[in-house]
Structure 1
Amino acid sequence: MSEHYYTREPQTASDRKSLTAELRGFKLQLTSDAGVFSRDGVDYGSRVLIEHMDIPADASVLDLGCGYGPIGLTAARLAPRGHVTMVDINERAVSLAAENAKRNGIANISAMQSDIYAAVEGRRFDVILSNPPIRAGKVVVHRILTEAAEHLNPGGSLWIVIQNKQGAPSARAKLEEVFGEEQVEEIGKDKGYRIYRAKLV
């Protein structure tokens, strides 16, 4: 079985690639690499999430499963008085995220390796963003959803993007179970991708 991006230490030989992406009006110069998610360009699901996410200017944000950083770096641009913590299990991805922040002059971020929420235990955020690692399996994806509430400030929101065919209906049901039906909303949809926001009251 070939290695995939949900790997702590990718063994795939490095093969770095430079990308330019315009996200929410910000032009980002990004470096990606083999062994990380969506190496050849910002994937469509992440773009849909980025277009819809609402980030207060002073928000404390967690980008969970940050990859090489497009979601978190855009969030940091949208929250100039806030801070974005970017985490991923993949150490190569974390290194790239930090490098890409530096390359784009984005200082209000920190990047660290973390198995889901392990590295931010005890911390709470105003916003959690995730394009969850579907290939890691349903157990991992549902842990991201169920444990989010423990890591949000009151009034804070979890934003996720997930494809219909990759489990959007069951993800929504899980969010409603955790946050309450009234607090879960479909904010947008595009080409089979669904953006859900779950609010902690």
Structure 2
Amino acid sequence: MNDHYYSSQPKSASDKQVIEATLRGHKLKLTSDAGVFSRDGVDYGSRVLIEHMDIPQQASVLDVGCGYGPIGLIAARLAPQGHATLIDINERAVGLATANAKANGIENVIIAQSDLYSAVVNRTFDVILSNPPIRAGKAVVHRLFAESFDRLNPGGTFWIVIQKKQGAPSARAKLEEIYGEDAVEEVGKDKGYRIIRCKRT
């Protein structure tokens, strides 16, 4: 099997590098590695999601497919009275996100290895964020969408970033099926990336 960022145990040789990024006014020093998503720098789609996401100060937040942590760690910074949980199937990504939280002094986080929502089946959140693993296939992405609904508190929001060419219109149609047409809104776009927000009403 090829070594993908959605492999649970990447087999590629470790080749760590440090990235510095300023996101929503917060400077982060992030270590990335081979075998994880967007290892050479914070992905443009993730940056667009970070710029648009609305995180209340006391929110409980879940980042699904956190990689080495940029989205979830900024969410934790934006919710100083709240809490962020970062999950990823990739054990190398989980190790990096854990180290990156510590290196940046971010303590209001829990980071866990999880196949989609398996590690959080008994918990609910105010905000769920995801830059979904498109290359893992439609079945995985649609499961990520479908199972988000039951993980949200009433009034909670589910945010994704997706490129138009990677199926933003069909993703939106699927989310409208799950959440209802009136509860799904495109709230931002940049260079072909679309930010879609769904509200559990």
Q: TM-score, normalised by structure 1?
A: 0.99
The alpha-carbon deviation at position 2 of structure 1 amounts to 3.6
For the residues of structure 2 that align with 1:4 and 1:178, how far apart are their CA atoms? 28
Please name the residue that 1:61 is paired with. Answer: 61
Partner deviation per Cα, 1:88-118 (whole Å, 9 max, x = no partner)? 0000000100100000000000100000000
For the residues of structure 1 that align with 2:109 and 2:29, how far apart are their CA atoms? 16
- The answer to whether the aligner puts 1:163 opposite 2:153 as a matched pair is no
The alpha-carbon deviation at position 167 of structure 1 amounts to 1.1
For the residues of structure 2 that align with 1:132 and 1:107, how far apart are their CA atoms? 25
> What amino acid maps onto 2:37 in structure 1?
F
> What amino acid maps onto 1:16 in structure 2?
K
- The answer to whether the aligner puts 1:184 opposite 2:184 as a matched pair is yes
Task: For 1:46-195, list aligned pairs within 5 A.
Answer: 46-195=46-195
Is the partner of 1:158 in helix, strand or coil? Answer: strand
Aligned length: 201
> What amino acid maps onto 1:153 in structure 2?
N
Structure 1: unaligned runs, 5 residues or longer: none
For the residues of structure 2 that align with 1:176 and 1:9, how far apart are their CA atoms? 34
For the residues of structure 1 that align with 2:9 and 2:57, how far apart are their CA atoms? 34
The alpha-carbon deviation at position 31 of structure 1 amounts to 0.1
Aligned-residue identity in percent: 72
Please name the residue that 2:16 is paired with. Answer: 16
For the residues of structure 2 that align with 1:50 and 1:120, how far apart are their CA atoms? 22
For the residues of structure 1 that align with 2:51 and 2:110, how far apart are their CA atoms? 22
> What amino acid maps onto 2:45 in structure 1?
G
> What amino acid maps onto 2:50 in structure 1?
I
Partner deviation per Cα, 1:33-74 (whole Å, 9 max, x = no partner)? 000000000000000000000000000000000000000000
For the residues of structure 2 that align with 1:142 and 1:88, how far apart are their CA atoms? 16
> What amino acid maps onto 2:4 in structure 1?
H
For the residues of structure 2 that align with 1:7 and 1:89, how far apart are their CA atoms? 7
Structure 2: unaligned runs, 5 residues or longer: none
> What amino acid maps onto 2:170 in structure 1?
S
> What amino acid maps onto 2:53 in structure 1?
M
**RMSD of aligned Cα (Å):** 0.7
